[in-house]
Structure formats: C-alpha cells, structure tokens
Amino acid sequence: MNGAPRAAAPGGGPRSAALYAEACGLMPGGVNSPVRAYRAVGGTPPFLVRGEGARVWDADGREYLDYLGSWGPLIAGHAHPAVVAAVTETAAAGSSFGAPTPLEVEMARAVAAAVPSIDMLRFVSSGTEAVMAALRLARAATGRRSIVKFDGCYHGHADALLVKAGSGMMTLAHASPGARAQPGAALPSSAGVPDEVAAWTRVVPFNDADAVRAVFRAGGEIAAVIVEPVAGNMGVVPPAPGFLETVQDLCRAAGAVLVFDEVITGFRIARGGAQGRYGLKPDLTCLGKVIGGGFPVGAYGGRRDLMQMIAPLGPVYQAGTLSGNPVAMRAGLETLRLLDDAAYRRLDELGAALADGLAGAARRSSVPLVVNRVGSMLTPFFTAGPVTDAASAQRADVDGYARFFHGLLARGVMVPPSQFEAWFVSLAHTAGDVRRTVDAAAAALAR
Ligand SMILES: *Cc1c(COP(=O)(O)O)cnc(C)c1O
C-alpha cells in the first residue's frame, strides 16, 4: 500500500479527498499521527477546518458531532470562548521566552493542588516526553533497568514502550493483512527498536495481578511499573477491583517506582485523575492531553525526593525549548478552571446516557456490544464477552466496528476511527446531542 486513497471509499468529501491525495505524497500516510489515516476503518479522512463546542466542520462544509475531542484534550469542547480569549491574550504578550514565566508557577500550583501525589512536577510538550523522563528518573532512582508495562497500554512512542503497545500499534496490527491476531497473540513492536532496548521491558496482561506478582517473584531488578490506571488505548478498560492496589503494594515491597500514566485520565475522570478517583498514591504521574487544553503539553511529577533528582537539582537530565510554553500553560489553566464538581457530574451523566443509549440500540438490533465506560471516556466493543484486557479487546469484531464507524460518520457523528480507542464526551455536549448520537447509532446498527 502506498497510502493512496481507495476509490469510492466512504469518509471525506471531494475536497478532503483531494487534500488527502496531496498529503499522501508529502507526509507518510498523509497524516502526522498514524490512526488519523483511517486504515482501520477504510475510506479517507475528512480534513477538518473548524470546531466549536461539540461540533467540527470539514473542508467540504460537512458538520459532525465530535467524540474524538482531539483524542482526549478537549474536555471543554472546541474553541471554548474562555480558552480562546485567554490564549489570544497570552499570545499577544509573547508566545515563548525560554525563561521562567508566572504562568508556569500558576499551572504547577493548580496541578499539584489537584493531584496530592505530586509534590513537584516538570512540564514538557507531549505525553511521550513525560513518560520517557519519568522512566529515566525511575531507573536513576533505583539503579535498575527493567520496566514492567501492560499489554495494550500505550505510553507514547519512546523505544522502550513500543512493546505490545495499544492505540495505533494495536490498530495497525489489526489493519494489516495477515496480522488479524489470534486472541492474545503477540503484536509486533515497531521496527527500529533495538532488541537490547525492548529486552528491558516486561509485558504482562492488564488486570492480572498474579502476573505482576510472578514478574516480581522472578526478580530481575525492576525499576518501575508503568500503567494506565484506566486503560484507554486498547479501548476503555477499567481496572478490576483491587488490581491497582495490588500493583501498588508489590511496587512498594520491591522498591520499584510506580508510574501512573494519567495522560488520558488526568483531569478527565476526576480532578485528581484515576488516583483521586480510586484513592491511590503512585510515586510518579504522567499527564498530558487535558492539561494542555488543546495545546501541546505534558507533565511528569510526584515524590519530592524523586523529582529532586531532575536537572539542575540532580543528575537526571531532561530539557525542552518550548517546555512550559506560556500559551499552552494558559490554555491548560483556563481549562482546569472549568472543571469543578458540577462539571464532572455533568460529564458522568452525559457519558452514562451515551453508554446506555449505545448498549440499548445494540440490544434492539441484536448486535453483541459491550460498552466500557469510566466517566466521560467510553468504548463500545463489538463483542459479547466482557472486555478486561488486550486479549478480550482483540476478540471484538473490528469489521463490525468499521461499518458502525462509517454509519455514524455518514450521519454526521465523528468517533475514533478504530475499535481500540476511547470516545470522549465534553462539557460542550448536551443531552440532545447524546440523543441524536444514539439515534444515529441505532440507524447504523439496524440491519
Ligand atoms: C496519548 C497518550 C500518551 C502520549 O502522549 P502524546 O502527547 O501523544 O505524546 C501517553 N500515554 C497515554 C496513556 C496516552 O493516552
């Protein structure tokens, strides 16, 4: 495949198709992040030109109700007036200095206040960067090399973490001919990752506390366990009761650093993220997505004694030209300001209404569907069984999802172009939007 759009494929209109054709000659797959290319669902992606609230418009003038939310950041919806006004004001006062700014202090204070396990933090420009730095820190602090991750969790594209990763890697493994995995079959790691690097990464099934116990029992100098406390990159998979607690206990007992990758869940499922919701205390936390309010931001933080190992205080080097960028800090601050208790109640209600509506529509059409949801993140899996880990997620009928996806897109509803991603509800969605979505889903599922 050379990335050329398939003829007469569904998806974007003629202008989007023309843009996509040109894009394919200029950027690999025509995109700057793989899943955007619609490989898993077929067809060609609409090129978006505008967003407002819960809606987006494409280059052909088509309007969609949006549940991508830019893959998580847009908890306030597109172009929220308060966010737009704030970033406009900040940009007009200079967009980057390479020197400390008051906004970084304000933002750090806001994050540390909301997430009690974070004594100190450092802002970076992406979730990938946050995770890379957190693991470097964990290795430096423990003097050990191995890290444990969970099958189907995605932690950005750093070498050590492209081992049985979720998100785009899980999606592409399904989309490539011949790679339709048997349940539990190994997914390919990325080319270009040296075996020597991948060898330091142990992979265990999500929600399998015994497997984590076994890894620790086998010894092998584990520096860190990194986990998405609510998995979002194999589709949404909540933690089984007690699972995260056990992982936390095992880390404590072994002197390993527990890293919560809350790049999706931070400020998404509660102000305090998953750790706030479930009452846990990781040593380090990675953030991104929501805290940037739609701008490029990541952060890592946690125990003071660990964070004091970061340069210039300590020997662990990490730096960034645009880290703590004022415009991004301001977008994040304005977004966090909108997230009070009432906001989370509303997000939860809307999420529940959407999940229940999708499940009901599937029942009426006799389509096996499991809807996993935590707050405003959810995934309808085209399978009858419970989805508790990557193996059960991979039992989903991805062709069924692709048909559903295009059924929704044709009816003006944009959801993630992969079975293995989270749908996001925002504060801009209304009960009426959710009803419209459920009607569209019912029509898309009807046979
Ligand atoms: C998106 C994501 C990342 C990577 O963040 P980028 O900003 O895309 O680099 C890391 N971890 C999780 C859990 C994510 O969902």
Q: What is the pLDDT along the chain (447 residues), one digit of tens a residue?
A: 344 444 446 889 999 999 999 999 999 999 999 999 999 999 999 999 999 999 999 999 999 999 999 999 999 999 999 999 999 999 999 999 999 999 999 999 999 999 999 999 999 999 999 999 999 999 999 999 999 999 999 999 998 888 877 777 777 766 544 333 333 323 446 899 888 888 899 999 999 999 999 999 998 799 999 999 999 999 999 999 999 999 999 999 999 999 999 999 999 999 999 999 999 999 999 999 999 999 999 999 999 999 999 999 999 999 999 999 999 999 999 999 999 999 999 999 999 999 999 999 999 999 999 999 999 999 999 999 999 999 999 999 999 999 999 999 999 999 999 999 999 999 999 999 999 999 999 999 997
Which is nearest to 67 in space by CA: 427, 349, 431, 426?
A: 426
Q: Which atom of ligand 1 approaches the CA of 127 most closely?
A: 5
Domains, the chain: 14-66+340-445 (3.90.1150.10), 81-337 (3.40.640.10)
CB 268 within 8 A of CB 74: no
H-only helix segments in 5-80: 14-26
CB 414 within 8 A of CB 65: yes
Q: Which atom of ligand 1 approaches the CA of 71 most closely?
A: 1
What pLDDT was estimated at residue 9? 61
Active site residue 399: no
Which is nearest to 274 in space by CA: 73, 388, 117, 75?
A: 117
CA of 128 to the centre of ligand 1 (A): 6
Choice among 38, 154, 278, 401 that is catalytic: 154
Burial class from Cβ neighbours inside 10 Å (0-12, 13-18, 19+) for residue 397 reads middle
What pLDDT was estimated at residue 180? 36
Q: Which atom of ligand 1 approaches the CA of 298 most closely?
A: 7
Report strand pairing: 222-227 vs 146-150.
parallel
Q: Which atom of ligand 1 approaches the CA of 296 most closely?
A: 7
Report strand pairing: 257-261 vs 284-287.
parallel
CA of 179 to the centre of ligand 1 (A): 24
How is residue 35 annotated by DSSP? G
Output the residue whose Cα is nearest ligand 1's atom 15. 264
34 lines ligand 1 (CB under 6 A): no
128 lines ligand 1 (CB under 6 A): yes
How is residue 397 annotated by DSSP? -
Task: Please state, in angstroms and rounded to a whole number, the distance separating the CA atoms of residues 129 and 34.
Answer: 18
Helix (H) / strand (E) containing 168 = helix 168-175
Site to probe by mutation for ligand 1, drawn from 128, 262, 325, 424 as the one with most ligand atoms within 8 Å of Cβ, is 128
Q: Which atom of ligand 1 approaches the CA of 265 most closely?
A: 13
CA of 7 to the centre of ligand 1 (A): 33
Q: Which atom of ligand 1 approaches the CA of 262 most closely?
A: 13
What pLDDT was estimated at residue 207? 98
Task: For tokens 């020597």, name the residue.
Answer: 196
Choice among 66, 151, 261, 433 that is catalytic: 261
Choice among 67, 149, 289, 401 that is catalytic: 289
152 lines ligand 1 (CB under 6 A): no
339 lines ligand 1 (CB under 6 A): no
156 lines ligand 1 (CB under 6 A): yes
288 lines ligand 1 (CB under 6 A): yes
263 lines ligand 1 (CB under 6 A): yes
126 lines ligand 1 (CB under 6 A): yes
What pLDDT was estimated at residue 10? 84
Active site residue 397: no
Burial class from Cβ neighbours inside 10 Å (0-12, 13-18, 19+) for residue 109 reads exposed
How is residue 45 annotated by DSSP? P
407 lines ligand 1 (CB under 6 A): no
132 lines ligand 1 (CB under 6 A): no
Active site residue 20: no
Report strand pairing: 222-227 vs 63-66.
unpaired
Helices (H) and strands (E) in the chain, counts: 15, 14
CA of 208 to the centre of ligand 1 (A): 23
CA of 196 to the centre of ligand 1 (A): 24
CA of 280 to the centre of ligand 1 (A): 21
Task: For tokens 């419970």, name the residue.
Answer: 386
Output the residue whose Cα is nearest ligand 1's atom 6. 127
Task: Please state, in angstroms and rounded to a whole number, the distance separating the CA atoms of residues 140 and 309.
Answer: 8
228 lines ligand 1 (CB under 6 A): yes
Which is nearest to 293 in space by CA: 244, 257, 327?
A: 327
